[in-house]
Amino acid sequence: MVKDKDDPLDGWTDLGMAELIQKSKEAPLEVMWFNAPNTELLGLCDILDIRARLLHINTIDKWKKLADTCLTVRYHDQKDNGINWFEPGAMSYTIQQWSVRNPVKRRGEFNKNIIISVRDTVKKKRILVDGNDRATILTSEVNSQVQPNIDVFLYEWCGEHVNMIFPCEFCQFYNTSI
């Protein structure tokens, strides 16, 4: 089990890295390492001690914890202007902040109930890398007092060196005091 005593979410179960890699490639995540053969990606994760885990989120309270603490790959500057991840001063919105800024309405049931995130256990940051629209919709529904049926599986890359696999997503935390 990944040791992450500062994680606001609990109830994680260990997951095989091969399954997480497959789910991530199916998403598909646009990460440079995902063009590599699975054996190389598995080896890299083993060398970097990156682990896979899974959390079933099926309550509004657990969803709120995720929405309040998980960051998106949507970025802004100090004045709340939308900018790119590579621009100086880029900061990620939380799911909660993004859903308020950019509310999205559901157009039927979700095609899949999977969301993928990455947790840096040193920086104590979690970033959503797949499922941003589903997360925004669920958060908007919770905020508007709609009682959505929350049944989501959060697949997560976790460890001290996840920034080696997801460098663009985490670079904002390595050049500032955030």
What one-character-per-residue DSSP string does the chain give? ----TT-S----EEE-HHHHHHHHHHTT---GGGGS-HHHHHHHHHHHT-EEEEEEE-SHHHHHHHHHHEEEEEEE-TT--EE-TTSTT-EEEEHHHHHHHS-----SS-S--EEEEEEETTTTEEEEEE-HHHHHHHHHHHHTT------EEEEEEEETTGGGTSHHHHGGGTSS--
Instruction: Compute the half-sphere exposure of residue 69: CA atoms within 13 Å on the CB side of its CA.
Output: 18
Nearest Cα to Cα of residue 72 among 53, 102, 98, 52? 98
Tell me the average pLDDT across 144-158: 87
What is the per-residue pLDDT across 31-83, written as a single tens digit (0 to 9) for each?
666 778 889 999 999 999 999 999 999 999 999 999 988 998 888 887 888 88
pLDDT of res. 46 = 95
Mean pLDDT of 87-114: 83
Going 160 to 164 to 165 to 166, the CA torsion angle's sign is positive
pLDDT of residue 175: 57
**Mean pLDDT for the stretch of residues 119-137:** 90
Q: For residue 84, what pLDDT band results from cuts at 50, 70 and 90?
A: confident
Tell me the mean pLDDT in the region 77-104: 84
Amino acid at 81: N
